[in-house]
Chain A
């Protein structure tokens, strides 16, 4: 099995689960954090004994709201990771909710080894924040970005949502400009996606909420892309921009189809066998079940799936094509490539392909063509 240099750690706790969220996240279970951290530490220890992992180039602590962890808890987890091995200059990201970003917290995170902070700003418009059920204000969010920077973080990402009902193009660009002014090195702009099993999904189904049309969403997307480009940010993935040298290395590894280990409730892992076949496995989702299983056996695997080398190639192309610099992952699909190039969705250069502007708008159609 190929050695694994990327690690994802999941923290499924939130103060409130926003109505659009379909991640593996739970409100009012914060009391479970201490046993959860113990279980997570145990899962990491056991993985080290069983799998070819480390030294780690990237560690990503996501959620949920991992900024709910106290710095001692963060320490506890990251110490176990360091015991396995951390590569020099490793990227260690923590996702944080603006409400949790205080100068004490920032000190503790830095001290624990975190060197990249991803702040869930989402929007600065009061109406949008209320609609999205965010518990912080726009001012809180900008203050959080400034506090992180002042406290010593030099690699900060802000997550933003566009296509939010009630926010027009001007309002969206206002949010974007203010966030850029606060000095982030990285920006993720996601279209607000309606997931069927969320409360937002229900509201859209029953007609209570009307989502902006495709044209409005694309207008906001392309306006942001333009604004970011003129501000010196590179558009390196469909929803991601960064200043030169600040692309998220953890996510890049996954988009380049590198194997990774995921620990924590509902976390996914991807392993590559020596025959180039791929295995995906995932942990049990619920925190109670996870704690019980991981703290007794050290394992919490709920299921797995083996992909033949052919299917894995298709998957690699489906993901790789999202990288806007281009990918060579589609090299095994000459017929599809020709068809997509002729349709004006892909452009070819130096044996690689990259999405055209139209290709970005229809990326799923392209991805589907690489799948069996």
Chain B
């Protein structure tokens, strides 16, 4: 059943997180009969348990729908669902590269937010036709007219093109599908030209190896051809090509404009790089398609097994997880305090949290994560430049010529009444004010240049709490800048704890040291003896707190019948202690290692 190219469409759904993209995708699947009502579960396209539990999309997903339009023709619509969280914006960028159009979903009560803008900019960069949708119009606080006006003024899409919808109630689904077939252009590629297919995702399947998600832009991809990866030069015999409906369904071929997958006995996702171009080794294309921006980890943290015997298991778990998560990078790390573990690079804090949770849940590990940090670039007096993604590895001050830190361009969208708060917060966080734009609907877009290190330290939570939850944030890395930074060390019970070291702005170092010591005092449970906590800069103690010794822990009665209960109680306490890491004589809980994240 092949569809003429002019009846093929490839679209993505883009939106700020929580504006209802995944629910809208569910409705489209239902309306087009792609998923039978009896098989319909919420968030059909979210396959990870974590995605369903948290109600978020982490991985992009693809599906092919058939839609009989009002013009009597049956269209093939390829839909790629994308994540909305800023951490996963690279997933959006890959998905958009494989599309010709995008459905832009804006919440009727929230209006345009930071990631709405970021996603629209990306879509426009990829020359996509945008179908604007105001969603959740059934909510009591919805103001669809205002949001429609916003879309026209802020994004420049004509108000009359905006569709009102409620994905929850199925309102507007048909109008959206009609707009897609009418507005989004069909693919232009020539099915007889040499094959060029763009890889936009890859996934590891334990039985079949790597499943490569592709969009064929030119030529035709058939089973049996020798697929050649144009960047890596490696080639593989294609065992199967297919489409998503939404489960994998083999087909004979994928021709220009179509979205689907190929399986070619590829054992490592690294051989199926996102952004690479697949061609036919027997009749190769002359040039690859333009790729897209490489994924670089933004934050780094150590992951350590609380039980040292789980090191090997952690190593294997990371290997397996990485097969499905090309954005995750790691290398072995040794900490004097925490033992053997891995230094991992993540896209952002949510990505870090998710990786840790998946490792614990899917691989049955108990992990201790250290506070995330950015990657600094340190210029040494001998002229060498070294990257430092672990505060404890910062060379000694006498060797350092200068330290540069990553800088981002941060976009904050917020109701005007909170502008003052946002500016104050951003200034406290070493932000450099760039611009304010007032938009309709009492909405202000602020832009700042800001050290990434400040953003990962609680900035987002503060942004939310100081705007009653209304502010939204998007940011992108724009470069490195020299800064006056020092290393802050922490000593617990008299011994330095490497995993608690942090790199901070010199002018704030002493204050941060004091706050960190105070915070640790509240987080380190009372022990059998008194525990001093000290913060030091270059060997000079700048703060000291003391955790007093545990006063009393004794059960008054312990007779025959109480023994089982008492033993179970103590065993449970002991189990809880496994979450603690013994550093010297002192037991330190996981939260203490994250204390530096919330010092305000």
Contact = CB atoms under 8 A, between A and B. Distances in A.
Interface stretch (A44-52, A130-138, A145-153, A263-271): A263-271
Contacts of B528: 343, 345, 362, 365
B351 to A, nearest CB: 37
Interface stretch (A27-35, A67-75, A210-218): A210-218
A38 interface: no
A243 interface: no
B570 A371 contact: yes
A347 B290 CA distance: 75
B371 to A, nearest CB: 29
Interface residues of B, number: 22
Interface residues of A, number: 38
B556 A190 contact: yes
B37 interface: no
Interface string A351-372: 0000000001111110110011
Count chain B CB atoms within 10 A of each CB in A215, A262, A305, A367 and give the residue with the most. Answer: A367
A239 interface: yes
Contacts of B557: 190, 193, 239
A214 B556 contact: no
B528 to A, nearest CB: 5
A263 to B, nearest CB: 12
A198 to B, nearest CB: 14
Contacts of A319: 558, 563
A282 B571 CA distance: 20
B561 A268 contact: yes
A250 B544 CA distance: 52
Contacts of A282: 561, 564
Given A315-B563, A367-B570, A368-B574, A322 B558 contact: yes
B118 to A, nearest CB: 47
Contacts of B38: none
Contacts of B508: none
Given A343-B528, A362-B528, A268 B560 contact: yes
A345 B570 CA distance: 17
Nearest to B552: A214
B567 interface: yes
A199 interface: no
A363 B567 CA distance: 13
Interface in B530-568: 550-561, 563-564, 566-567
A337 to B, nearest CB: 15
Given A364-B554, A365-B528, A371-B574, A254 B560 contact: yes
Interface string A4-41: 00001000000000000000000000000000000000
A363 B564 contact: no
Nearest to A343: B528
A362 B554 contact: yes
B470 interface: no
Contact of B556 (A238, A343, A361): A238
A365 B553 CA distance: 7
A193 B553 CA distance: 12
A239 B557 CA distance: 7
B573 interface: yes
Contact of B554 (A238, A254, A262, A343): A238
B433 interface: no
A363 B560 contact: no
B556 A239 contact: yes
B529 interface: yes
Contacts of A322: 558
Contact of A218 (B552, B555, B558, B570): B552
Nearest to B560: A254
B553 to A, nearest CB: 4
B560 A266 contact: no
B556 A318 contact: no
A255 B566 CA distance: 13
A231 interface: no
A260 interface: yes
A155 to B, nearest CB: 18
A107 B330 CA distance: 80
B556 A363 contact: no
A319 B555 CA distance: 11
A253 to B, nearest CB: 9
Contacts of B573: 364, 368
Count chain A CB atoms within 10 A of each CB in B552, B571, B574 and give the residue with the most. Answer: B552
Contacts of A191: 554, 556
A227 to B, nearest CB: 18
Contacts of A371: 567, 570-571, 574
17 contacts: A214-B552, A217-B552, A218-B552, A251-B559, A262-B560, A266-B561, A268-B561, A268-B564, A280-B563, A280-B564, A318-B566, A318-B567, A345-B528, A362-B550, A365-B550, A368-B574, A371-B571
Given A238-B556, A345-B528, 7 more contacts: A8-B561, A363-B554, A363-B555, A367-B566, A368-B570, A371-B570, A371-B571
Interface of B: 528-529, 550-561, 563-564, 566-567, 570-571, 573-574
- Across the A-B interface, give the 9 residue pairs with the lowest CB-CB distance, nearest first: A214-B551, A268-B561, A190-B556, A368-B570, A363-B554, A191-B556, A214-B552, A364-B553, A254-B560
